[in-house]
């Protein structure tokens, strides 16, 4: 971690990791809605809360920042799961034939 600080790369590293974390959550939203529907929103709430608590407990600013990004990406995923259901309803994404839908 000192390497990042010595060369003033911490901000760049946090930015790259933020991009990757957010990018990771996009397919997670699609798969979560496909298999579990909107019922899985509480799981992302729990992940977000765990991420916030972990971020507050860690002294390393780099790790705390990434945990914060993870936490709020989890919170954002709650909204995205419900929007994904709407995208499935519109036919933009496939329905899971093993599930029953409200629409």
Q: Cα(5)–Cα(32) distance, rounded to whole angstroms?
A: 37
Residue 99, domain member (yes or no):
no
Task: With cut-offs at 50, 70 and 90, classify the pLDDT of residue 56.
Answer: very high
Domain count, the chain: 1
Residue 100, domain member (yes or no):
no
Check pLDDT > 90 for residue 3.
no
**The model's pTM:** 0.88
**Are the CB atoms for 7 and 55 separated by under 8 Å?**
no
Task: With cut-offs at 50, 70 and 90, classify the pLDDT of residue 100.
Answer: confident
Q: Cα(32)–Cα(79) distance, rounded to whole angstroms?
A: 13
State the average pLDDT over residues 74-78. Answer: 98
Structural domain that includes position 15 = 2-89
Residue 13, domain member (yes or no):
yes
Residue 55, domain member (yes or no):
yes
- Better-scored residue on pLDDT, 82 or 101: 82
Q: Label residue 53 left, alpha or beta by phi (over 0 means left) and psi (-120 to 50 means alpha).
A: alpha
Task: With cut-offs at 50, 70 and 90, classify the pLDDT of residue 2.
Answer: confident
Residue 96, domain member (yes or no):
no
| Dihedral (CA of 12, 13, 18, 24) sign | positive
């Amino acid at each position: 971690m000192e390497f990042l600080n010595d060369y003033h790369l911490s901000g760049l590293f946090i930015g790259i990791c933020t991009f990757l974390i957010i990018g990771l959550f996009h397919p997670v939203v699609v798969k979560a809605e496909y298999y579990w529907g909107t019922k899985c929103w509480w799981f992302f709430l729990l992940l977000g809360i765990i991420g916030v608590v972990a971020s507050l407990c860690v002294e390393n600013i780099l790790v705390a920042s990434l945990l914060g990004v993870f936490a709020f990406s989890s919170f954002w995923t709650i909204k995205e799961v419900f929007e994904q259901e709407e995208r499935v309803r519109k036919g933009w994404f496939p329905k899971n034939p093993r599930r029953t839908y409200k629409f």
